[in-house]
Amino acid sequence: MALRFIQQLKLRASQCHLWPLFLTFSCFIIKLVEHPVTKNKISILIYWLFPVTIGLSQAIYNSYYHILPVSVSFVDGLIFGGVLGILGIAVWYVVRYNDPEKSAPVQMLASHVAASLVFTAMWMIASGILVKTMINHLAYGEYLNSQLTVRIIGGLLCYALIVSIYYIYVYSQHNREKQLKEAEWQHQIRQAQLDALKSQINPHFLFNSLNSIASLTLTDSGKAHHMVIALSDFMRYSLRNHQDDLVTLEVELRNIGLYLQIEKIRFGDKLGYHFDIGDGCNTRLIPNLILQPIFENAIKYGVYESSTPVEILLKARKMEDCMEIEVINDFDPESVPRKGEGVGLTNINERLRIIYGSSRLLTAELGDNKFTVKMVIPDNN
């Protein structure tokens, strides 16, 4: 509405060569649109209830106690209330340029003391002139003189009340901006933590795979060639989905399938794997690249250390408010575990904590020649 009005004025101004006047008036309209009172119809209505109520209360009081005739009382009350409302809108700019976060207390106090005196003087003078212009009542001048002290005090109190309301609005806006900035910072910190954890997981796997390829080049160049191709596909897939925090279980298992193809080339029949996926689980969202370190751990401590074939089983079941994923692998209890850096499962637990806010979503159990890693994924669909 305001922009359409400005466009019409622009056309008229260009025809009449009144560009300086147009620019001045346009700036005023834009500033008014940014005003907290004029930003929507509800705020305008709520604001004007204040001066109208004061004006009507004054008119009713003067009429009831026969201080002024009824007609004069209501003209006096509505004019004083209307001028109070207009000047109250202008007070916003005093508050705006005395922001408590940017201005010194002494400067704010001096500005508001001066502004309150100007506000009160303008309110009384402008209102008195307007009422005298509209009515012809001989005793009205005496009435104004008798109410001088009361109206000065009233003007100062009204200024203080209006300023207080504006400052409440300013503080609420500052608080909202701080909350938005804090939320943005938290998101950036969270993303940086996740990226750091992912960067630890991917090079860890890549290092092991390159060691395996190096070994195969000496024993079976054909398998080494196939492993390089499989590794290329896996890394291309991982990098393409690196920016997604969450993917479906189906997508993540497709990724794990590429990883297991690489390890299958290395271990042959010694490695077997099976996925047991319950109804409704494939479409559930989980953190991307979250399963690969678990399978890497199972191969490292199960397949690598065992002299017999090892089966890795993944089971996924949909519960009432979560999805449970279990990765179970055989292991040889008599073998001496290989010493690792402990990066895999620790990183998984930390990623789950950052994403879901709980550090109890990952557990590991050892028993009956089987190692079980259980992961709980809370509902997020």
Assigned domain for 128 exists: yes
* Confidence label for 233 from pLDDT (cuts 50, 70 and 90): confident
Summarised one tens digit per residue, pLDDT across range 305-352 is 777 888 999 999 998 889 999 999 987 766 655 555 455 788 888 888
What is the percent of the chain with per-residue pLDDT over 70, rounded to a whole number?
80
10-14, 40-44, 123-127, 346-350: lowest mean pLDDT where? 10-14
Tokens of 301: 């401590």
Residues 6+ apart with CB under 8 A from 117: none
On whether both 170 and 224 belong to a single domain, the answer is no
- Is the confidence at residue 83, as pLDDT, over 90? yes
37-51, 221-235, 283-297, 307-321: lowest mean pLDDT where? 221-235
Assigned domain for 195 exists: no
**Could you tell me which residue, 161 or 16, shows the higher pLDDT?**
161
CATH number, domain with residue 283: 3.30.565.10
d(Cα 33, Cα 7) in Å, to the nearest integer?
15
* pLDDT at site 26: 41
22-36, 40-54, 128-142: lowest mean pLDDT where? 22-36
Select, from the ranges 33-47, 160-174, 241-255, the one with the highest average predicted confidence (pLDDT): 160-174
- Is the confidence at residue 158, as pLDDT, over 90? yes
* Confidence label for 358 from pLDDT (cuts 50, 70 and 90): confident
On whether both 11 and 150 belong to a single domain, the answer is yes
**Could you tell me which residue, 300 or 328, shows the higher pLDDT?**
328
* Confidence label for 190 from pLDDT (cuts 50, 70 and 90): low
Domain boundary among the residues 118, 153, 176 is at: 176
Number of domains in the chain: 2
* pLDDT at site 332: 72
Mean pLDDT rounded to a whole number for the chain = 81
Rounded to the nearest 5 degrees, what angle is found at the Cα of 343, between the Cα atoms of 340 and 345? 105
Assigned domain for 214 exists: no
Domain that holds residue 45: 2-176
- Is the confidence at residue 108, as pLDDT, over 50? yes
Assigned domain for 207 exists: no
* pLDDT at site 164: 94
- Is the confidence at residue 196, as pLDDT, over 70? no
On whether both 155 and 252 belong to a single domain, the answer is no
Assigned domain for 303 exists: yes
